[in-house]
Structure 1
Amino acid sequence: MTYDVWDGDDDGEAGRLVPLYILVNGRTTPRNTNLDLATQVIALPADTTRLEPEYKEIMNRCSGWISIAEIGAYLHRPLTITKVMVDVLLEQGFLGIGAPAQRKIADRRLLETVLAGLERL
């Protein structure tokens, strides 16, 4: 039987000494009650140098519209913690909330194809 022994190296995920709930100040639910796992967020232009590495990971994933559930899946974080961390970033103005449909769609040909398909129905 093998045992994992901490070797004093804090560089990796296994060396984490600070539990994730410390990053959210022990909060278990987001303050924004409208957030759910399907909520779409996007990173806003901001200086992220002072953010904790876990928050920077979220910002890196949010270069385009992404749901809170996808963020949790990509980063292998519990969804509850991910939701609260996203809420913290929203409160601090690092993330914007909305939906991908709010973006301007540049592919007019695709829209015309969809419209033609709907008209055939």
Structure 2
Amino acid sequence: MSRDIWNGADQGDGVPLVPLYVLVNGRTSPRTAGLDLATQVIALKADTGGLEPEYDAIVKRCQTWISIAEISSYLKYPLTLTRILVDVLLERQFLAVGSPAQETIVDRGILEKILVRLKSL
């Protein structure tokens, strides 16, 4: 049986050198109430030059509306940890929470007419 010895060189397999929980200072849950895996987030315009690579990867992935679960899947981060990383980015105002539908409602009057018609059925 042979033993593999790490020689200190990064083999480029995508494994972070620092455990991800160090990035969140050991936090075990997000501070933002109601932040679940289906929560939609989007990147805000901000300078990301000083962000750690893991945070920067999240901000780059959030150029359009995306759920926390999707971020976790794309970046291969654990779900719970992704929620906390997103929460930190929300606190630091790199991301915003919302819904894509918030941007697409142009005329409230149309929605009210639809509601009236549905009630008349």
Shared fold per TM-score greater than 0.5: yes
Hey, what does 2:39 align to over in structure 1? Answer: 39
Normalising by structure 1, we get a TM-score of: 0.79
User: CA distance change for structure 1 residues 3 and 45 in 2, over 3 Å: closer, same or farther?
Assistant: farther
2:57 aligned with 1:85, yes or no?
no
Letter in 2 for 1:21: Y
Gap runs ≥5 in structure 1: 107-114
Q: Report what 2:72 is aligned to.
A: 72
Q: 2:28 matched to 1:23?
A: no
Tell me by how many angstroms 1:49 deviates: 0.6
- Amino acid across the alignment from 1:41: V
Unaligned 5+ segments in structure 2 are: 107-113
Residues 24-50 of structure 1: per-residue CA shift (max 9 Å, x gap):
100010001210000000000000010
Q: When the two structures are superposed, what TM-score results if normalisation uses the length of structure 2?
A: 0.79
Aligned twin of 1:61 = 61
Q: Distance in 2 between matches of 1:3 and 1:102?
A: 56
Letter of the structure 2 residue corresponding to residue 59 of structure 1 = V
Quick one: which amino acid aligns to residue 78 of structure 1?
P
Paired-residue identity, %: 62
**1:33 aligned counterpart, secondary structure:** coil
Q: Which structure is larger by alpha-carbon Rg, 1 or 2?
A: 2
SS of 2:33's partner is coil
Please state how far the C-alpha of 1:7 moved relative to its aligned partner.
Answer: 3.2
- Structure 1 runs of 4+ with >6 Å offset: none
